[in-house]
Amino acid sequence: MTTVGILGASGYAGAELLRLLARHPQLQVAWASGESSVGQAVAERYPGLAAAFPSLAFCSQDEGLDKGADVLFTALPHGRSATLADRMAAAAGLVVDLAADFRLHDPAAWTAWYGGAHPAPGQLGAWPYGLPELHRDQLPGARRVAVPGCYPTAALLALAPLLRAGLVEPGGIVIDAKSGVSGAGRSPADPSLFSQADENVSPYAAGSHRHTPEIEQELASIAGRPVAVTFVPHLVPMTRGILATCYARLAGGATSEDSRACYQAAYEPEPFVDVLAPGRWPRTRAVATTNRVHVAAVTDRRTGRAVAAAAIDNLVKGAAGQAVQCANLALGLVETAGLDLVPPGP
Amino acid sequence: MTTVGILGASGYAGAELLRLLARHPQLQVAWASGESSVGQAVAERYPGLAAAFPSLAFCSQDEGLDKGADVLFTALPHGRSATLADRMAAAAGLVVDLAADFRLHDPAAWTAWYGGAHPAPGQLGAWPYGLPELHRDQLPGARRVAVPGCYPTAALLALAPLLRAGLVEPGGIVIDAKSGVSGAGRSPADPSLFSQADENVSPYAAGSHRHTPEIEQELASIAGRPVAVTFVPHLVPMTRGILATCYARLAGGATSEDSRACYQAAYEPEPFVDVLAPGRWPRTRAVATTNRVHVAAVTDRRTGRAVAAAAIDNLVKGAAGQAVQCANLALGLVETAGLDLVPPGP
Amino acid sequence: MTTVGILGASGYAGAELLRLLARHPQLQVAWASGESSVGQAVAERYPGLAAAFPSLAFCSQDEGLDKGADVLFTALPHGRSATLADRMAAAAGLVVDLAADFRLHDPAAWTAWYGGAHPAPGQLGAWPYGLPELHRDQLPGARRVAVPGCYPTAALLALAPLLRAGLVEPGGIVIDAKSGVSGAGRSPADPSLFSQADENVSPYAAGSHRHTPEIEQELASIAGRPVAVTFVPHLVPMTRGILATCYARLAGGATSEDSRACYQAAYEPEPFVDVLAPGRWPRTRAVATTNRVHVAAVTDRRTGRAVAAAAIDNLVKGAAGQAVQCANLALGLVETAGLDLVPPGP
Amino acid sequence: MTTVGILGASGYAGAELLRLLARHPQLQVAWASGESSVGQAVAERYPGLAAAFPSLAFCSQDEGLDKGADVLFTALPHGRSATLADRMAAAAGLVVDLAADFRLHDPAAWTAWYGGAHPAPGQLGAWPYGLPELHRDQLPGARRVAVPGCYPTAALLALAPLLRAGLVEPGGIVIDAKSGVSGAGRSPADPSLFSQADENVSPYAAGSHRHTPEIEQELASIAGRPVAVTFVPHLVPMTRGILATCYARLAGGATSEDSRACYQAAYEPEPFVDVLAPGRWPRTRAVATTNRVHVAAVTDRRTGRAVAAAAIDNLVKGAAGQAVQCANLALGLVETAGLDLVPPGP
C-alpha cells in the first residue's frame, strides 16, 4: 500500500479526503493532522467516519511532517503551504496541495489578488494546475500538484471546450456561480450559521473573489491572449454543490447542437464528465458526494450568446476528489481508483 | 370599506393576497374563488389564515363574478383572465391582474412567447404595467392594472435606473435570477417536491422563459430602441425570494459610487426600495414576507461591466404585495396601506 | 407613547422584539443595547430592520440603564439579569425578563439545574411566570414578569388543560420537543452551522435540559403534587418553530372528543390559541412569525395514553411575542396590541 | 454473476437499490421495471445514475417477471406483491420484498391495520422478518424475505436489546419518530412539496400508523407477551433519515452505563450498528446514504425511564440497504458486500 498523510484534516475538505481514502484500493491513510483538534478522535469530530477510522486521532502538523508519507495531501488555509514547501517536499514523494498557494503562475497575480509577496515565488509555475481535463499530460510522474479552486473547476469545465473550439469569444465572459455553504468551511462564522444562510440567497465578493485570477489564467492560456472575466459567486441554502452558469458571446454562428458536439468531443475520453442530453441542465444534486461533472450548453442566436453550465460537488470534484484523481494520475494508478461513487437518488 | 373579490385564491399568490388584505385598513375581502377547492374552508387549506379568516370558504369563479366587488384581484393561470376581460370589467370598478395576460403591449410578442393569438388583442397596451417605481403616473384612477411577473420586477428594479441614467448600455445585458420554489405554485409537480428541490440548484428555461419579453419591453421603452436580454432563471432550495443578478456593459467611466448615487436619486421617493450601503449585497431573507426591495450595484473597470442585484419576496413584491400597492395607488389610498410589514430577523 | 428599552437586543430574541415593537401602536423603542455591537447600526446587523429603524444603533448596557425607559425588556444570557435586578427596577416601571433568572420559585431548583446559589433568592416567586394562558390574573399591574422558556411554553399549553381537567395523570409524562436552530441564538457555534444542522435531526440534553424544572414547577402547581417529566429536545433543520409532542397516561376513559372539548373550554377566551379541527395536527409553519399557538390532542384507548401537541414560533410566542403580550397585560393595553400578525402561507 | 430484477424501480427505494447494486461485487441488475415509466431511461429519471446505468431503461412488470432473475427485489406499493407471490416465486430463486405485504404474521393484524383480508394468508409467517440484527439465523438459504419498514427498523434496533435484557418494561413504551420527506416517495403530493414541508415540523397518523403492528409483533416476540406501543411519526424538513426516540419504563435500577453495556453486547458482532460513546446522541447526518445504524441510550432515575434513540437512513438501512443485506445473507455472500459506504462529512 501507498501511505498517505493529510495536513489540515479537521476541516471539511480534509474530512472528505478521509471519506474517499477510506475506500481507496491503493492509498492508505497513515496520519491526519488538525492543529485545533490535536488528540481528538476523528470519529468524535466526524461521527460518520467512525466505522472507517475507528482509532485514528488528529496529530499535530509537526508530528505528521516528521513521520512523512508516500503522498501528502494538504488542506491548510491559503498561504500556509507556501511557507512549508521545502518541508513538504522532504516529507513525501508526492505533494498534492488543495490550497491556492501554487495555482497561479504569475507572482504579480498573487500579489494583486492575495496581497503581499509570494513566500516561494520560484516555485510558481512549477506545480501543474491539477485539472486533469485540461492538463492531463502534466500529471503522470508529477511530484507536486496544485489542485484548482472549486469555482474555477466548475467554470473552466463549462467554458474551456467552447473557447478552445472557437465557438465563443474570450472577451466579455460572465460567470455567475452558486455554492453550498460547506464551501465556507467548518470554522464558526456568522454567515455560515443555519439561521443566517437558510432561506437566503446572496452574492458576495462580486468582482473581487480570489478565484478570479485562476479562471483568467487558464482561459488566457487557451485563448492565447489575456482574458478578464466578471465572476460573481453566490451563497445558496444547501450544504454541498456548485453550479457555474457561464455567459459568453458567440464567436460565429454556432448552434446548441454545435456546443453539445464540442463538449462531446472534449469529454468523450474523460471518465468523470457527463455531457447532458439536449434539454437537460446540470443539477447539483445529481453529482452530490461524487467526483462527477455535469455540463450542458445552449446558444441563443437572438442575443448572440452562449449559456454554458457545469455542476460539481464542491468538496469532491471541487477539492478532495480532484486531489485524489490527481494523485492517481501522478502515481500511475487507475484514474478512477477510490472515486467510483454513485450519488444518492433523492 | 372597499370590498375585494379574489379569483384564483387557492394558490400561493392568492393566499398571499388574503394574508395581506387581512390587515389592510381599507380593503376587505368579500369573497375568494378557487375552482379546485370550492366549498373548502380557507383555514383548512391554509391553517395559518384560520385566525384572520375563520369562516371564509372558497367559492366558484362564477359565483364570485356574479357577486362582484369594488376591486377584483385575479391570480388565475396565464391565459385565463384574457378570456374573462369583459366579465371582470362588469364585475368590478378596478381589476388588478396578477397573470401575464395584459402585460405585453405587442400582440406579436404574445404570440412569439406564449403561442397562439391573444384572446383580446385590442386591450393590449391599455393596461398599465403595474410596476409603480417605473409607471407611477399611470396608476391613479386606473380601472385595470397588469401586475408584472416576479422575475421582471426584480430585474427591472436593478437595471432601469442605470439604463435610464446612461450608466450602462442596452446591448448585451445578462440576467441570472435565482428563485425559491414557491414560484412554481402549489400544484403538485415532480420538480417542486422537497426531495427533488432540496440540496439542489439548477437553471431552467434558459433563454426561453416567458418573462423575457416583459423585461425587454420595459428596457426598450427606457432605451428608446429594441433590447434583447439573456435571461436565465434558476431554482434554489428555499421557499420564498428572488435574487436577480444583472450584468451590463458600462456605457462610460461610471464608478460604483456613481451607480449608487443613481439608485439613490431614483429610489429616494420610493417607499419600498432600499439602496444598500456600499459593500452590502441584497439578501432575499432581508425582504422575506414584505413588499420591500433591496438593490445594490458595483462597477468593475477591469472588465468594463456593472453588476447590479435586486432581492424581493417573489410572492409579495413579485405578486400579491405589488398588486395591493397598485390597487392602493389606483384607488387613491396611501401607497403603503396594508404593506407596512417588517421581515423576521432570522 | 410608552418608551421601551431593550437590554441584549443584538441577539435573535432582541431583534424579534425590535421587529414586533416597530409596529406596536403604544410602545416605542427608545434604545437597544448590545454589548458586542455597541455603536453598530441595527440595520447593519439586521438588514431587514433597516426600514423600521433607519437610525437606531446599539448602545451599551450601562448607557441604556442610565437612560431608563417606561418598560425594560431584557434578553440577556441566563444569569445576567439576576445580578442587575435592582438596577433594572430603578431604570423602569416594568421589567420583562426573557431569561431564566426569575422563572423558578424554588432556590433549590435553581441550584440543581443551573448550578450555584441564585444571586437574588429573595426575589424568586415574586415575578409572575408570564404565561398569560395560565397566570392571566397575576399580570395586570405587575412591575416585573419572568417570560417562560420556549419549550415550556409549548409543552405547558399542550398539557395544562388536560391535566387540570383530570383527563391525564401527572405521573409518567413524556415531552418530545423539536426546535428550529434559531433557538441556539446567533453566537457562532459548531452545531448551529448550516453544514452541521442541515439534513440532520438529533436529540440533545436528553433528561437534563434546563427547561425541565420550569415545566415541572407549573405542572406540579396544577396537579397539587410534585411532577417529574421526561423532557427530550431535538434540533431540526429549520430556522424557527417548536413542536412539543407530549405523551401522558389517560386518567379515565377520556376520548379524543373529550380532549378537544377540554382544549376548547380552556382556550375559547384566549386570543392567541387555536384548537385545531379533528384530524389536524399542529404544523410549525402555520404559526411562523406570529404569537399564535396551535394545539391538538388524541387519546388512544389501545395504549391508555393521550398524545397532545402544540406548535409555536420559538422567537415569538416562545420569547419576544410572549414578552410583548405580558407587557400589554401588565400595562393595561389591549392584549393583542402589536401582535396581530398573519403568518406567510407557504 | 448473480442476476437481479427489480419490480417498482422508478420510486425512491427502487432507485436506491440501483445505486447500491451498481457497486455490488456479485449482484448485477438485469432489468428494472417501473409501470409509470416504461421505456424511460433510468438516467433520465435519475440523472445521478447515468454513469452507472448508461443504457438501462425501465421495463414493464410483466416483461420483468417473464424474464426472471436469480434475485428479485420488489419495491411496489403495499398490497401489490401479495397478489404476485406465486408469480414472483416462479420468476426468481430469492424474492426480497420491501413492501409490508409479508411482514405481519397474524392475518388479523393485517386486517386491523391495512383493511380487508390478506390475499395470501397462508404465506404469513413463512417470510422471515428481514431485520438481520434480530433474525440472523432465519436468513441463510431463505428463498423469500420481508424487509421491515423504515420506522420499525429504527425503533426495534433502539429497543430490542434493552427489552431482551430486561432493562426496560414492555408496557407503556412511547416511540416518537422523525422522518425525512423521501419516506413519502416520489409521487407528487401536497405535503411532499418543498413549499409545504420546508421550515415545518408536524406529527401525522399519531397512534394509527401502519408500522405500529410490526413494531408490536417483534417486541411481543421478545417480551413473550402482547405489547402495545404509542407510535407517533413526524415529518421534518430534510430529504433522508429517520431518528426514533424511544421512551420506556426502567424495569430495575439500570444505569446509563448498563444500557450502553447492553447495546455493546448485542451489537458487538453486528457489522452495521455503532454504539455511540457516552454523551453522544445519534444524528441522522452521520449515517446518511449508508446502511449504518447509530444507537445510544440513557436512563433517568429521577423519572424511572430510559431514553433510547437510533438513527438510520430511511432509504438504505430502512429499505434498499437492508434488502441487499438480507439478500447477501440469504445467498451466503459477505454480509457487507456492496454496502461498505462512508457517509459524507458535511
Q: How far apart are CA B256 and CA A204, in angstroms?
A: 15
Considering the domain architecture, whether residues D53 and D173 belong to the same structural domain is answered as no
Q: Using the CB atoms, write b or e for B152-185: b if 16+ within 10 Å.
A: bbbbbbbbbbbbebebbbbebbbbbbbbbbbbbb
Of A202, A238, A241, the CB nearest to B282: A202
Q: In this structure, how many other beta carbons lie within 10 angstroms of the beta carbon of residue D190?
A: 12
Q: Residue A339: its chain D contacts at CB < 8 A? A: none
Neighbours of chain D (3+ CB pairs under 8 A): A, B, C
Q: How many domains does chain C have?
A: 2
Instruction: Give the pLDDT confidence of B25-57 residue by residue, as tens digits.
Output: 999 999 999 999 999 999 999 999 999 999 999
State what percent of residues in chain B have pLDDT above 90: 98
For residue A38, pLDDT over 90 is answered with yes
In a domain, residue B133? The reply is no
E strand or H helix at A66: helix A61-67
DSSP C244-302: EEEEEEBSSS--HHHHHHHHHHHHTT-SSEEEPPTT----GGGGTTSS-EEEEEEEETT
For residue A2, the cross-strand partners are: A27
Contact D283 A47 (CB under 8 A): yes
For strands C305-312 and C293-300, give the pairing.
antiparallel
Torsion angle defined by CA atoms of residues B104, B110, B113 and B115, in that order, rounded to the nearest 10 degrees = 150
| Angle (nearest 5°) at CA A106 between A102 and A112 | 95
Contact C182 A195 (CB under 8 A): yes
Chain C residue with the nearest C-alpha to that of A197: C194
Nearest residue to A46 (alpha-carbon basis) of A76, A18, A20, A6: A18
Considering the domain architecture, whether residues C29 and C94 belong to the same structural domain is answered as yes
Q: Using a CB–CB cutoff of 8 Å, tell me whether C193 touches chain A.
A: yes
pLDDT of residue A345: 85
Chain A residue with the nearest C-alpha to that of D276: A47
* Mean of per-residue pLDDT scores for chain B: 97
Pair C291, C339: CB distance under 8 Å: yes
Q: What's the pLDDT band for C129 if we cut at 50, 70, 90? A: very high
Contact B305 A202 (CB under 8 A): no
Average pLDDT over residues C271-288: 97
In a domain, residue B143? The reply is no
Contact C194 A190 (CB under 8 A): no
Contact D201 C229 (CB under 8 A): no
In a domain, residue B241? The reply is yes
Q: How far apart are CA A11 and CA B52, in angstroms?
A: 48
Q: What's the pLDDT band for C346 if we cut at 50, 70, 90? A: confident
Q: Residue B181: its chain D contacts at CB < 8 A? A: 193-195, 198
Q: What's the pLDDT band for B68 if we cut at 50, 70, 90? A: very high
Instruction: Give the pLDDT confidence of C312-326 residue by residue, as tens digits.
Output: 999 999 999 999 999
Instruction: Give the pLDDT confidence of A198-217 residue by residue, as tens digits.
Output: 999 999 999 999 999 999 99
Q: Using a CB–CB cutoff of 8 Å, tell me whether C290 touches chain B.
A: yes
pLDDT of residue D252: 87
In a domain, residue A339? The reply is no
Average pLDDT over residues A12-28: 97
pLDDT of residue C252: 86
Considering C150, C246, C262, C326, which one is annotated as catalytic? C150
Supply C122's cell numbers.
Answer: 429573595
A264 CB-contact burial (10 Å; exposed 0-12 / middle 13-18 / buried 19+): exposed
The shortest C-alpha distance from A53 to chain D (Å) reads 10
Q: Using a CB–CB cutoff of 8 Å, tell me whether D201 touches chain C.
A: yes
Residue in C239, C303, C313, C315 to test binding to D, most D beta-carbons within 10 Å: C303
Q: In this structure, how many other beta carbons lie within 10 angstroms of the beta carbon of residue B16?
A: 30
Supply D41's cell numbers.
Answer: 431511461
Instruction: Give the pLDDT confidence of B163-206 residue by residue, as tens digits.
Output: 999 999 999 999 999 999 999 999 999 999 999 999 999 999 99
The shortest C-alpha distance from B199 to chain A (Å) reads 5
The shortest C-alpha distance from B98 to chain A (Å) reads 24
Considering the domain architecture, whether residues D123 and D155 belong to the same structural domain is answered as no
Q: Using the CB atoms, write b or e for A188-210: b if 16+ within 10 Å.
A: eeeebbbbbbbbbbbbeebbebb
Supply D92's cell numbers.
Answer: 426468481
Contact C47 B12 (CB under 8 A): no
pLDDT of residue A346: 87
E strand or H helix at A145: strand A144-146
In a domain, residue B121? The reply is yes
Could you tell me how far CA C68 lies from the centroid of its own chain?
25
Residue A11 to residues A182, A183, C340, D328: CA-CA distances in angstroms?
Answer: 10, 11, 45, 36
Q: How far apart are CA A219 and CA A157, in angstroms?
A: 11
Q: Using a CB–CB cutoff of 8 Å, tell me whether B103 touches chain C.
A: no
Let me know if B326 is a catalytic residue: no
Chain C residue with the nearest C-alpha to that of A190: C188
The shortest C-alpha distance from C134 to chain A (Å) reads 31
Instruction: Give the pLDDT confidence of A60-104 residue by residue, as tens digits.
Output: 999 999 999 999 999 999 999 999 999 999 999 999 999 999 999
Q: Residue C193: its chain A contacts at CB < 8 A? A: 181, 186, 188, 192-194
Phi, psi of D334 (to 5 degrees): -65, 135
Neighbours of chain C (3+ CB pairs under 8 A): A, B, D
In a domain, residue C345? The reply is no
Supply D265's cell numbers.
Answer: 453486547
The shortest C-alpha distance from B192 to chain A (Å) reads 13
Considering the domain architecture, whether residues D196 and D101 belong to the same structural domain is answered as no
Considering the domain architecture, whether residues A113 and A213 belong to the same structural domain is answered as no
State what percent of residues in chain C have pLDDT above 90: 98
Q: Residue A302: its chain B contacts at CB < 8 A? A: 207, 228
* Mean of per-residue pLDDT scores for chain C: 97
Record the pTM: 0.98
- Mark out the alpha helices in B69-205 (DSSP H runs): 80-83, 85-91, 107-114, 132-135, 150-164, 194-197
Average pLDDT over residues A333-346: 95
By three-state DSSP, how is residue A26 classified? coil
Residue in C194, C199, C287 to test binding to D, most D beta-carbons within 10 Å: C199
Nearest residue to C144 (alpha-carbon basis) of C78, C96, C99, C105: C96
Considering the domain architecture, whether residues C115 and C223 belong to the same structural domain is answered as no
Q: Using a CB–CB cutoff of 8 Å, tell me whether C305 touches chain D.
A: yes
pLDDT per residue, tens digit, chain D (346 aa), is 899 999 999 999 999 999 999 999 999 999 999 999 999 999 999 999 999 999 999 999 999 999 999 999 999 999 999 999 999 999 999 999 999 999 999 999 999 999 999 999 999 999 999 999 999 999 999 999 999 999 999 999 999 999 999 999 999 999 999 999 999 999 999 999 999 999 999 999 999 999 999 999 999 999 999 999 999 999 999 999 999 999 999 998 999 999 999 999 999 999 999 999 999 999 999 999 999 999 999 999 999 999 999 999 999 999 999 999 999 999 999 999 999 999 998 8
Considering the domain architecture, whether residues C120 and C45 belong to the same structural domain is answered as yes
What is the CATH number for D300? 3.30.360.10
Q: Using a CB–CB cutoff of 8 Å, tell me whether D198 touches chain B.
A: yes
Instruction: Give the pLDDT confidence of C53-73 residue by residue, as tens digits.
Output: 999 999 999 999 999 999 999
Q: How far apart are CA B38 and CA B42, in angstroms?
A: 10
Q: Within 13 Å and on the Cβ side, how many CA atoms surround C198?
A: 26
Q: How far apart are CA C191 and CA C234, in angstroms?
A: 12
Of C19, C23, C288, the CB nearest to B345: C19
The shortest C-alpha distance from B45 to chain D (Å) reads 11
Contact A194 C237 (CB under 8 A): yes
Considering the domain architecture, whether residues C168 and C290 belong to the same structural domain is answered as yes
Q: How far apart are CA B294 and CA B158, in angstroms?
A: 9
In a domain, residue C94? The reply is yes
Q: In this structure, how many other beta carbons lie within 10 angstroms of the beta carbon of residue B10?
A: 22
By three-state DSSP, how is residue C151 classified? helix
- Active site (catalytic) residues of A: 150
For residue A165, pLDDT over 90 is answered with yes
Instruction: Give the pLDDT confidence of D292-332 residue by residue, as tens digits.
Output: 999 999 999 999 999 999 999 999 999 999 999 999 999 99
Q: Using a CB–CB cutoff of 8 Å, tell me whether B344 touches chain D.
A: no
Of C193, C237, C239, the CB nearest to A188: C193
Considering the domain architecture, whether residues D271 and D167 belong to the same structural domain is answered as yes
Looking up cell 423532557, which residue turns up? C231
What is the CATH number for C11? 3.40.50.720
pLDDT of residue D46: 96
In a domain, residue D293? The reply is yes
Q: Using a CB–CB cutoff of 8 Å, tell me whether B186 touches chain D.
A: yes
Q: Using a CB–CB cutoff of 8 Å, tell me whether D346 touches chain B.
A: no
Pair C92, C71: CB distance under 8 Å: yes
Q: What's the pLDDT band for B346 if we cut at 50, 70, 90? A: confident
Q: What's the pLDDT band for C159 if we cut at 50, 70, 90? A: very high
Q: What is the largest CA-CA distance in chain A?
A: 61
Pair C39, C2: CB distance under 8 Å: no
Q: Using a CB–CB cutoff of 8 Å, tell me whether D12 touches chain B.
A: yes
- Looking at residue C217, its amino acid is Q
Considering the domain architecture, whether residues C104 and C48 belong to the same structural domain is answered as yes
User: ipTM score here?
Assistant: 0.97
Could you tell me how far CA C59 lies from the centroid of its own chain?
25
C154 or D252: whose pLDDT is higher? C154
Supply A210's cell numbers.
Answer: 480570489
Structural domain span for residue B260 = 151-314
Q: Residue C186: its chain A contacts at CB < 8 A? A: 190, 193, 195-196
pLDDT of residue A192: 97
pLDDT of residue C45: 96
pLDDT of residue C54: 94
Q: How far apart are CA B216 and CA A220, in angstroms?
A: 33
* Mean of per-residue pLDDT scores for chain D: 97
State what percent of residues in chain A have pLDDT above 70: 100
Pair A280, A263: CB distance under 8 Å: no
Q: Between helices A150-164 and A256-267, what is the axis angle to 10°?
A: 110
Q: How far apart are CA B282 and CA C10, in angstroms?
A: 21
Residue in C45, C46, C186, C195 to test binding to A, most A beta-carbons within 10 Å: C195
pLDDT of residue C110: 95
Considering the domain architecture, whether residues C214 and C74 belong to the same structural domain is answered as no
Considering B59, B150, B262, B326, which one is annotated as catalytic? B150
Q: What's the pLDDT band for C334 if we cut at 50, 70, 90? A: very high
Nearest residue to C262 (alpha-carbon basis) of C246, C250, C275: C275
E strand or H helix at C326: helix C321-331
Domain-terminating residue out of B59, B93, B127: B127
The shortest C-alpha distance from B238 to chain D (Å) reads 8
Looking up cell 425588556, which residue turns up? C73
Considering the domain architecture, whether residues C123 and C157 belong to the same structural domain is answered as no
